[in-house]
A = this chain, B = another copy of it.
Amino acid sequence: MAADVEVICIGNELLIGKIENTNARWLAQQITRLGAVVKRITVIPDSIEAIATTILEAKERKPSLIITTGGLDPTFDDKTFQGIAKALNQKLVVNQIAYEMVKKKCTAYAKKYAISSDFEMTPECTKMATMPANATPVNNIIGAAPALHVDLGGTLLFALPGVPKEMASIFDNAISIVIKQIVGPYSFLEKSLFLEDIFESRLAPLIVKVMNDNPGVYIKSHPICSPNSDSLELHFTMSGGTPNSVETLENTVKELTFLIKEKGGKIITSGL
């Protein structure tokens, strides 16, 4: 079954271009490889209003999953749980399971760095365990801030931390299995051809013909602009679970290769 996923990345640092949004690409790759489809990635500021609005907009489009990243840490600007609570019209409460998760992490951390012998949970530590009433905490093996999931009614929302290795670990441990359960035996196949000596505009009608001949295969051309060449990449993709998907993709590549050569184009390499 198809599973649509929306990714919402929360953080002013992304909107000022301070950091590359590597989380979005990493999630897009993992989700695609699992056979699901990322329909939208939205980057928004650390604002309760923006978080709540964006979640509600995404929910309206009825994806199987919404995954947020960022905004789970103890500082004032981490507002994801508050935004989710606002979107769901739920109260924020200290979740006891999450509280124990945070306490365990912080105690271990304080011990390791010998910061204080009388470690206690500050309001900021408690904030990391203060979640919308209906949410279920998800353990963060690497960092202190627990993630959560909550059922929006047909759509499952996961809120992950923004730190890439924490985000990736929780995705791998808690989300990938959920996606695979929805998607079933579907998979994602891809293949690339690199070519030159043909205009993209001359190539366009050939692509349309070959796509019509091979339903289910999507072909996209990407200009590759290096100082010494104006070559093109043709990227073939297919989501499917039938035993002959691989063969269909291979046949599509062959058919287009033939048409390109007929028009004087040259295949440089065939990737993936």
Contacts and interface: CB of A to CB of B under 8 A. Distances in A.
A261 interface: no
Interface string A108-151: 01100101000000111101100000000000000100000000
A46 B29 CA distance: 17
A205 interface: yes
From A29, A41, A122, A264, residue with most partner B Cβ within 10 Å: A41
Contacts of A190: 16
A220 B12 contact: yes
A66 to B, nearest CB: 14
A172 to B, nearest CB: 15
Interface in A20-65: 20-22, 24-32, 37-46, 50, 57
A18 B235 contact: yes
Contact of A76 (B13, B26, B207, B235): B207
B124 A204 contact: yes
Interface class of chain A by DSSP: mixed
Instruction: Please give the count of copies of this chain that the complex contains.
Output: 2
Interface stretch (A86-94, A176-184, A195-203, A243-251): A195-203
Contact of A204 (B75, B218, B225): B75
A125 B45 CA distance: 39
Contacts of A123: 205
A78 to B, nearest CB: 9
Contacts of A57: 57
Contacts of A115: 197, 199, 264
B28 A218 contact: no
Given A25-B21, A44-B40, A76-B204, A165 B222 contact: no
Contacts of A18: 235
A32 B20 contact: no
Contacts of A222: 13, 19
A100 interface: no
A20 B16 contact: no
Contacts of A46: 220
Given A45-B39, A199-B106, A204-B124, A22 B25 contact: no
Given A12-B218, A76-B207, 13 more contacts: A13-B220, A13-B235, A18-B235, A19-B25, A19-B222, A40-B42, A40-B45, A41-B42, A41-B43, A73-B200, A106-B199, A124-B205, A163-B225
